[in-house]
Amino acid sequence: MPCFGIYPSGIITHINPVYICDITEFDLVVNIEKVLESGVQQLAEISAEEWKSQKKPLLEATGIKSWKELDKKSIGYGIEWVDQRVVLTFPALNKQYGVEKHTTKNISIDVDTPIEKIVKLIHDDYLLLKNLR
C-alpha cells in the first residue's frame, strides 16, 4: 500500500513509504490507517524529464519491473475519499482469468463507514477472485 503525494499541478502519485502486509483483514486495517495518517504530501513540481526518471515506489516495493507485469500478478482495489463518500473500486476477472479494473463494480458508501467494514468488503471480494483464478 503506497502513500500518496500531490504536485502543485494537481497530479497525485505514489510515494514512499509503501506498506507491505499479509492479506488479512487485521493487517489491511492497520496499514490503511498508516496511509491515512500520513495524508497526501505536498510535493515540489518536477519537469517532464524528471517525471520520466522518477522511481516508482510501488514497483520497487513489490520487486516487479513494469506496470504491465504488476497488473498481471496482482489484484488491485481502490479506496478514495470523495466529498462525503468513500468510493471503492473493485477488479474483475477477464476471460483469460486475468484481473482487470471493473468499471461497473464500484461501491459508494458513507464517509463515516468504519475502516473495518470497508476492509471486510474488499477482503471478501479478494478471496472470491483469488479462488476463481
pTM: 0.84
pLDDT of residue 75: 83
Last-in-domain residue among 31, 56, 73? 73
Same domain, 68 and 93: no
Last-in-domain residue among 24, 50, 73? 73
Same domain, 57 and 90: no
* 106 within 8 A of 99, measured Cβ to Cβ: no
Provide the domain count of the chain: 2
Residue 127 main-chain phi, psi, to 5 deg: -60, -40
pLDDT of residue 44: 94
Same domain, 68 and 79: no
Same domain, 14 and 40: yes
pLDDT of residue 102: 58
Same domain, 17 and 81: no
**Cα 96 from chain centroid?**
23
Same domain, 46 and 83: no
* 4 within 8 A of 15, measured Cβ to Cβ: yes
Sheet holding 12-18, edge to edge: 12-18, 2-6, 40-42
Nine-digit cell at 98?
486475468
pLDDT of residue 99: 61
Which residues of the chain register pLDDT less than 50? none
Same domain, 55 and 83: no
Same domain, 65 and 90: no
- Give the residue numbers spanning the domain of 84: 75-133
pLDDT of residue 51: 81
